[in-house]
Structure 1
Amino acid sequence: MDILNSYFINVLVVAGIYVILSLGLNLTIGFAGQVSLGHAAFYAIGAYTAAILSSKFGYSIWMTLPIAAVVTWVIGALLGLPSLRVKEDFLAVVTMGLGLIIQSLVLNLKITGGPMGIGNIKPVSLFNHSLGMFGFFVFEVALIVILIFVMKRMVNSRFGRALIAIREDETVADTLGINTTKYKVLAFAIGAMYAGIAGTLFAHYFTYVSPDSFGFMESATILSMVVIGGLGSIKGSVIGAVILSMAPELLRGLKDYRILIYGLLMVMMMRYRPQGLFGDNSLFKLKRKKVSSNVSKEM
């Protein structure tokens, strides 16, 4: 029974990490409309920042978490500034390239342990007492609640309205006096910060990080969670992450076909419900109307 409970808690903890990753990516894609295929890069930066600080300097998660959040926010802003000058398909290629560069760096730099990774990371403890798996899960849930609350406040604020205006029509937003570059970079940086927080949780929970955990397929998996849950939907980010993170466990006998299942789900969603499970259907109706209008003008 204890083994079953540990296994179930482990699955929930991993699902929670993906929830945070999906929330961050949905801010960038769903609300700001900026396609990113390199979200795992910031996930890796957060994880390795926490791993280095913990293994080499003895920092606990109470120190590594805010530091990793700031580091990924700054790096996200610095990388986002040149990246977001391109649009749509070109942006997707650029962010995918950034992800591959970061993975190559952690694979080859001495400070990251190269292909061997970093171990001896401190587990989460409170007053010098280890929280254990269940305690970590409670801590993670509390953190997710805070992050969802912050996300809701952001998207319902002037900042969120500006992002939605940019998503709908960047040219019109520009003419209305919205600093589109500023808001896009901020969205990219905040999304990166959420990934950095998830990376910190990953490092302190598993107490070991390696480059294999942060490849392109990880970015594709997170993107699948956002698309299936619903672009521009906080609830969708949570549900999509929970569904796709638990799917491999529920279909463990078909683990060799996990990517095939993800692809099939994406195709089915795009065919029958392109807005995702909880996405805003009006957004896709508006886009179809714009596309039809442009085609009519060209003809």
Structure 2
Amino acid sequence: MDDLLNPYYVDIIVFWMIYLLLGLGLNLITGYAGQVSLGHAAFYGIGAYTSAILSVKYEWNVWLAMAAAVVVTFVISALLGLPSLRVREDFLAITTLGLGLIAQSFFKNAEITGGAYGIDSIPAPSLFGMELKNTGYLLLVTVVLLLALFIMKKMTESRMGRAWMTIREDETVAQAMGINTTYYKVLVFAIGGAYAGAAGALFAHKMSFISGESFSFTVSATVLSMVVVGGLGSIRGTLFGVTLLYMLPELFRLFEFEIVDPKYLDMYKLMLYGILMVLVMRYRPKGLFGKTGVKAGRRPSSSGEKLNKGGDHVA
């Protein structure tokens, strides 16, 4: 089964899907709830290290380790999301940036994470006695991504999603309408972090080796660029933005254009992201597929639509 597809192309698709999971989680936090985060790579790393440590150092079953990684990241993300209750906008961005840098420093120096040496020999998951590698791993990541898309669509179309969008448009108005902003802001960080944790676990067991360098600020900035270019508050926008910014550099690597020196591809990639961000912010502030969210003049439905048991509703 693993010989059906070229491993190189499989790796490109697998890592593209992992970035889609990261983008979906960040778009939930920033796009739907309006909580700017520059430390998303921290959640990514927590998921990867949790699964790696449990499966390598404590010899847990890989499937249990991956599931535990999502749960642990959910809990830690909720705790790291607590600063969002006190600060907003630019101050929140700086705070999450600091949290991301602290997390990376921990990954690089803590004994349990292997310090600068990282963790190697991370096992691949097995199904019916057969290790999932190459094509098998591609199918696993595809299933996880489809499940994540389904769950996100259901959440964003529910009263929970409408509460997040109301908070994004005007938190003071949301509070006046009876929406429990504390609960929803912490919840969105937890769920967005869980998405990143799942991506991290998949990344760790695909690579079989991780180190702190894999979860740097560059990853957070890259994913944020993808989400912003595609469109804030739009699942379709996230899919487009991640695909565009992830696949363009790969095309240069695949076809070896003479105008691009492969040695400097990473530098060119960051320059491209920066240029696209400037253009999008200038001409499409909400991104190519961005939504404006809750409209101020919308009237409540005749049925008295609720957002939670406390009587939350959308104006």
TM-score w.r.t. length of structure 1? 0.91
Corresponding residue for residue 166 of structure 1: 167
- Counterpart CA distance in 2 for 1:15 and 1:179 is 36
Corresponding residue for residue 306 of structure 2: none
Note the C-alpha offset of 1:271.
1.9
Structure 1: which amino acid aligns with 2:236?
Answer: K
Corresponding residue for residue 59 of structure 1: 60
Is the 1:227–1:276 Cα contact (8 Å) retained in structure 2? yes
* 2:47 is the counterpart of 1:18: no
- Counterpart CA distance in 1 for 2:118 and 2:10 is 25
Q: Map of 1:137-152 to 2, 5 A cutoff?
A: 137-152=138-153
Note the C-alpha offset of 1:285.
9.9
Is the 1:16–1:242 Cα contact (8 Å) retained in structure 2? no
Local SS of the residue matching 1:57: coil
**Displacement over 4 Å in runs of 4+:** 283-286
Q: Map of 1:248-267 to 2, 5 A cutoff?
A: 248-252=249-253, 253-254=260-261, 255=265, 256-267=267-278
**Cα deviations across residues 57-107 of structure 1 (Å, max 9, x unaligned)?**
222431112101110111011111134310000000000000000000111
CA-based RMSD of the aligned residues comes to: 1.7
Corresponding residue for residue 294 of structure 1: none
Structure 1: which amino acid aligns with 2:238?
Answer: S
**Cα deviations across residues 240-284 of structure 1 (Å, max 9, x unaligned)?**
11221222211234503111111011111112222222112x459
Structure 2: which amino acid aligns with 1:152?
Answer: K
- Counterpart CA distance in 2 for 1:178 and 1:43 is 29
Structure 2: which amino acid aligns with 1:167?
Answer: R
Note the C-alpha offset of 1:3.
11
Corresponding residue for residue 92 of structure 1: 93
* 2:131 is the counterpart of 1:120: no
With 160-169 and 119-128 compared, the bigger mean Cα shift is at 119-128
Local SS of the residue matching 2:134: helix
The unaligned stretches of length 5 or more in structure 2 are 254-259, 297-315
- Counterpart CA distance in 1 for 2:295 and 2:39 is 28
- Counterpart CA distance in 2 for 1:276 and 1:285 is 18
- Counterpart CA distance in 2 for 1:136 and 1:16 is 11
- Counterpart CA distance in 2 for 1:219 and 1:199 is 13
With 59-68 and 138-147 compared, the bigger mean Cα shift is at 59-68
Corresponding residue for residue 133 of structure 2: 132
Note the C-alpha offset of 1:7.
1.1
Structure 2: which amino acid aligns with 1:266?
Answer: M
Corresponding residue for residue 273 of structure 1: 284
Q: Percent identity?
A: 56
Note the C-alpha offset of 1:4.
8.1
Local SS of the residue matching 2:38: coil
Local SS of the residue matching 1:248: helix
Is the 2:165–2:294 Cα contact (8 Å) retained in structure 1? no
Is the 2:44–2:197 Cα contact (8 Å) retained in structure 1? yes
Corresponding residue for residue 234 of structure 1: 235
Equivalent residue pairs, number: 284
Is the 1:230–1:277 Cα contact (8 Å) retained in structure 2? yes
Q: Map of 1:1-40 to 2, 5 A cutoff?
A: 5-40=6-41
- Counterpart CA distance in 2 for 1:155 and 1:93 is 26
With 256-265 and 40-49 compared, the bigger mean Cα shift is at 256-265
The unaligned stretches of length 5 or more in structure 1 are 287-299
With 211-220 and 61-70 compared, the bigger mean Cα shift is at 61-70
Q: Could you say if the C-alpha distance between residues 250 and 284 of structure 1 is closer, same or farther in structure 2, counting changes exceeding 3 Å?
A: farther
Is the 1:124–1:205 Cα contact (8 Å) retained in structure 2? no
**Cα deviations across residues 165-212 of structure 1 (Å, max 9, x unaligned)?**
101110000001101111000001100110000000000001110011
- Counterpart CA distance in 1 for 2:227 and 2:40 is 12
- Counterpart CA distance in 1 for 2:149 and 2:192 is 13
